[in-house]
Chains A and B, each alone.
Chain A
């Protein structure tokens, strides 16, 4: 191999290496939409902060079934979570889940439009290892596990909106789900 070919090879190798590097932590954080922030919270919980009792032995693929009932901006995009499937964790999304199937879900998202059915769904999954999410007012106060909250901070004429979450730790423990204490630390409010 000649000098030139060796140099080119090194350049190509360098470019391939750089393209595999993680993004700089100092890069400007991107703005997200409400829905993206909420989906990111759900993804964080299923991939890192919550463990289900039906945990597969290491090496096998864990199935995570994400169910949604009702319809809102989030349920329209919830399918994106399937793209986050990895070898270790396969994410399945089931929209408009029926009451009879919810006990097979690992995660249940209840949209505000299904507020009328909420008591029935919560009663059906009570004490079953189903992690429940909603954006409805007072969800955690009525037995739900994780509520999304829109928090607006104003300074003068400037407004910044964030998506935070509240956790009803009692409901989580009753369902025999393990939740990482770090997730509770970051919550806006925790009901113990």
Chain B
């Protein structure tokens, strides 16, 4: 090459380099991202006021509205099947036994369930009447499930977990919605909702809903069980904000339903049970108000009050409960090293029971108060890396007096994609009317009535829980979450067989009664692991898988009937896959596995595999059509031992179709 040519070449290259970099170097990189790339780029928020779930020192799992919609579930209990560590067993047409980390029971009393901050745990029955929690699924924004003691923030009974159901703000449900469908066991269901903007800052919605469920199958699968469940429900919600500093919410529901159960009541003459169909009336209502005020970005308060009324008229008892509750909370960033949350609450409970021979409470009418206070400090040990959260709740209840529930949690944000956390907590399940005041003949052996009896001197059950967790999101499209826990329970209430007594007055007298007294006579340990993973191989295919394993040991000094480890499944798993197909078609598949249950020496519930499929199509904007098949691998299978007085019931294979129209 000639010298002049070389010089020209260098000059030319240099010139073009300088000119493109002069321009390209000026436009900031982030502005050069294209619109379709932006749809896939995650943004990090400048202000981290609300903690990301993936950095929380707790075993948390969030069920989103999309998860609910694509699962094909028609009730809240069914949506909980997708959470690792939560066992959901359908015991009857309208009955579910739901628990976390063991102690599965009809009276699953170690799980706190809240609907928008309102406790739906029944104080008489010591559990949740899931058939009354019939909120339209389309109105649910998300369900936050925390396994393990959430006692500091949530209080007593949040021993094994908290399920927090959050409905949508009224501004997110504007317009009209009509949803209706029917199928084999979901005979008919429909929801109508209307939402509107009342003024610049205020939105409201009203809804009405009706469900008619068909009966589940009987044990021999020769017929349906003689059961029925239909419910009507209506409600409203109003949300408003003032000046960007205050938010106000008012919401309420009323419901009225009818159920028929088939009761096998014990009697002292052969064949020692009598089939009594029970036509039950269930009704209730609630109203809740919440006010939030933000002083500045370091301080905000919230005040909530609610009233709840439930009534169940059963042939064996009429149960009425009134609850009045007030709660206050203050979130306060004291300084860059301390984020404090503290609060207090008061609850007044009144219940009225119309006793019968089969279910009798002594006293039949009872009022009680619950006072609580809590404080929690999230201490920044290393900025953006290590946080220590210390907190405690103090409660006073009328059964066991004052209870203290402290906890310590550590979260280590290893890097942008990994978190390690550990916690130690003490939690308490305070005794209740169902463990202290009840007399309940359960069956007749041929010679004597077996009677469950409460003991008014019962103390609370205690738990010390140790948890360890790890979360990693190695790529944008995959994530893995594992939690291990060890639970040390003491003073667990189980049944202790007492000496037979001869009853000489009252119905069926004279007869021999063998009491099984509910007392704090057991200790227990539970060890387990819960795993959740998700992977999105393409942007139209999402996969999720969960697995949990539980090992329980209950030691009691008494013989006879007692809470057994066998009621809890050792292993549970599920695999979920969702396809977003062309032409607005969605196809979802879920495979669940539930391990066997051995609740008593005579009842064995085999393990089962369940396949649900959902095909959805949105032919025009606002119109959603879907067909759902549930339990497709099996004509029917039992999931749980029957509830009190109920016969065995099997969950059958079923199909339903649904139309949702938004306009």
Contacts and interface: CB of A to CB of B under 8 A. Distances in A.
Given A20-B20, A137-B171, A158-B53, A80 B28 contact: yes
A83 B64 CA distance: 40
Interface string B290-329: 0000000000000000000000000000000000000000
A31 B42 CA distance: 6
A166 to B, nearest CB: 13
Contacts, number: 143
Where chain B touches its partner, the secondary structure class is mixed
A30 B532 contact: no
Contacts of A162: 38-43
B44 interface: yes
B479 A84 contact: no
B27 interface: yes
A154 B53 contact: yes
Interface string B7-20: 00110011011001
B35 A186 contact: yes
B481 A158 contact: yes
Given A155-B534, A156-B479, A157-B471, A31 B60 contact: no
A96 B532 CA distance: 49
B40 A32 contact: no
Nearest to B3: A1
Given A29-B40, A34-B43, A156 B34 contact: no
A65 B20 CA distance: 24
A157 B62 contact: yes
B30 interface: yes
A37 B34 CA distance: 10
Contact of A160 (B23, B31, B42): B42
A10 to B, nearest CB: 10
B36 interface: yes
Given A33-B43, A73-B46, A154 B33 contact: no
B423 to A, nearest CB: 15
Contacts of B559: none
Given A32-B41, A80-B28, A40 B60 contact: no
A13 interface: yes
A74 to B, nearest CB: 11
Contacts of B52: 159
Contact of A1 (B1, B37, B44, B62): B1
Interface residues of A, number: 52
Contacts of B346: none
A39 B26 CA distance: 15
A183 B61 contact: no
A9 B62 contact: no
B13 A37 contact: no
B544 to A, nearest CB: 6
A85 B39 CA distance: 24
Contacts of A43: 31
A8 B146 CA distance: 65
B6 A1 contact: yes
Interface string B137-173: 0000010000000000000000000000000000100
B43 A155 contact: no
B261 interface: no
A157 B479 CA distance: 9
Contacts of A112: 244
Contacts of A81: 31
Contacts of B544: 155-156
A52 interface: no
A33 B44 contact: yes
Contact of A161 (B16, B21, B27, B43): B43
Contact of A40 (B1, B33, B45): B33
A29 B29 CA distance: 11
Nearest to A180: B35
A163 B23 contact: no
Interface in B419-472: 471
A50 B14 CA distance: 35
A39 B31 contact: yes
Contacts of A32: 30, 33, 41, 43-44
Given A32-B30, A158-B471, A162-B42, A9 B10 contact: yes
B194 to A, nearest CB: 17
Given A33-B43, A36-B30, A157-B53, A44 B35 contact: yes
Given A40-B38, A159-B52, A80 B31 contact: yes
Contacts of A155: 479, 534, 542, 544
B56 interface: yes
Contacts of A51: none
Contacts of A137: 171
B550 to A, nearest CB: 19
B79 interface: no
B479 A161 contact: no
B473 interface: yes
B17 A157 contact: no
A41 B29 CA distance: 13
Contacts of A17: 13
A19 B24 CA distance: 12
Nearest to B44: A31
Contacts of B227: none
A16 interface: yes
Contacts of B38: 37, 40-41, 44, 162-163
B497 interface: no
A55 interface: no
A108 to B, nearest CB: 19
Contacts of A49: 35
Contacts of B33: 29, 32, 40
B407 interface: no
Interface of B: 1, 3, 6, 9-10, 13-14, 16-17, 20-21, 23, 26-46, 52-54, 56, 60-62, 64, 142, 171, 197, 244, 471, 473, 476, 479, 481, 532, 534, 542, 544
Given A9-B6, A13-B10, A156-B481, 14 more contacts: A16-B17, A20-B16, A20-B20, A33-B44, A33-B46, A39-B30, A41-B38, A85-B26, A87-B23, A157-B532, A158-B479, A158-B534, A163-B38, A186-B36
8 contacts: A17-B13, A31-B41, A33-B45, A34-B43, A34-B46, A84-B31, A158-B53, A161-B45
